[in-house]
Amino acid sequence: MNRRAIIRRVDLLLLVSVLLLAVIGVFAVGSATYDGTGVPAFARRQLGWVGLGVLAFIPAAAVPYRYILKVAPFLYAFAVVLLVLVLFTGSGARRWLAVGPFSFQPSEFAKVALILSLAGLLSYKRVTESLGGLLVPVVLAAVPALLVIAEPDLGTAVVFIPLLFGMLFAAGVSYTRLFILVSPFIALVLSFNIWLLGLFIAASAVVVYINRWRFGEKTLGFSAAGLCALIGFSAPFFWNMLKEYQKQRLLTFISPEVDPRGAGYSIIQAKIAVGSGQLFGKGYLDGTQVHLRFLPEPHTDFIYPVIAEEFGFVGSVFILVLFFVILYRAIAVCRDAGPGPGGVLAAGVFVYFLTHIVVNLGMAVGFLPVVGLPLPFLSYGGSITVASFVMVGLLVDIAYRSRTITRW
């Protein structure tokens, strides 16, 4: 392939945005772990992860995504096996698997495998045109999500839910069917108020009743309404299943000042770091919240406050613009590729990045509870970095195929 063909194939604006984020991430990780004695080991390792991510990007962008979708079921099965192995042999709260001197997080690989599997599965109309058919993608998403919850890693497990429903929406599933599928999760949220829960269960039953579905679909719909009641009224049981630190994170999200030295400490210090950067920041390596060790986990979960404190509002907005480019390009590719497997796959990539960005930045500014979800390209970690580059590679390939499909 000549140089002109390569340039035509790659979305340069997308690629430049991704590489800028990755380079900024290396410097941000270096600042977050700097101890005054030279280049931090974390920064050197993160640079290595970026290099590995670029290597993973190349085949993801070069191999036609339709070929990759053919092996997606095997990738999914392999990911599930890895998640099971984590429960028995994993380290670090049973989230990591070691391969020689290296370790990786299988849950990140499971996200990629799920996106590919759903993109292939949802291209079949018989799957998307009935509630019964939709049970298959629901089960596909539920299996890795439950295994990740068992690690325990509630933050990563949360990602599987928007991935499922975002890709179902892109595949053309009707609003009423989506409503029935998502209703158990809404019931869980509304379980704090018995009256709201009751009204929602009644509304779910009405939606099922007024739709002209076949008998089997109506039966499944009413079963979903019953499941809403079961989940809502058994919410205390689910609450007791959470680890104590997970309960504290959810409670202090509402009011972090209640426990300023415990579970609320992270949120308070992150908000202080973001605010203290003001317009232009304190300068690289001069962030007091970071270098006086007030900010916990600055190189992973709270990498954004590090950037906000050292580069201020201007630097923070620049980061948001780069992320906006990725999301905008993903939406554009999804639109151009249409409702087929390419469009659904692009939607999965969009939801993947959107969920990580919204949840991580929401944690940093106190809008969402701290659930331990990294920020793509910026947070330290090989698994999230390589997976993010693979996602971008798939996006580049879908964009190229959708532009050239009329000429082939």
Residue range 142-177, pLDDT digits in tens: 899 989 888 777 778 888 989 999 999 888 887 777
Nearest of 351, 309, 333 to residue 118 by alpha carbon: 351
Q: 232: pLDDT confidence band, cut at 50, 70 and 90?
A: low
Q: Which tokens hold the place of 95?
A: 């989230």
Residue 259 pLDDT exceeds 60: no
Report the Cα 90 to chain-centroid distance in Å. Answer: 22
Q: How many CA atoms lie within 13 A of 342 on its CB side?
A: 23
Residue 262 pLDDT exceeds 50: yes
Mean pLDDT, rounded, for 252-265: 54
- Convert the pLDDT of each residue in 56-102 to its tens digit: 999 999 999 999 999 999 999 999 999 988 888 755 556 777 776 67
Residue 112 pLDDT exceeds 90: yes
Report pLDDT for 221. 64
Total-model pTM: 0.85
Torsion, CA 122, CA 125, CA 127, CA 133, rounded to 10: 160
Percent of the chain with pLDDT over 90: 33
Q: 1: pLDDT confidence band, cut at 50, 70 and 90?
A: very low
**Euclidean distance between CA atoms 305 and 271, whole angstroms:** 8
Q: Which long-range contacts (CB under 8 A, 24 or more apart) does 335-338 make?
A: 336/399, 336/402, 336/403, 337/398, 337/399, 337/401, 337/402, 338/402
Average pLDDT in the chain: 81
Nearest of 271, 328, 278 to residue 302 by alpha carbon: 271
Phi, psi dihedral angles at 123 (to 5 degrees): -80, -10
CB 19 within 8 A of CB 29: no
**Euclidean distance between CA atoms 270 and 375, whole angstroms:** 15
Phi, psi dihedral angles at 353 (to 5 degrees): -70, -40
What is the three-class DSSP state of 92?
coil
**b/e code 249-267 from CB counts within 10 Å (16+ = b):** beebbeebeeeeeebbbbb
Q: Which tokens hold the place of 72?
A: 């997606």
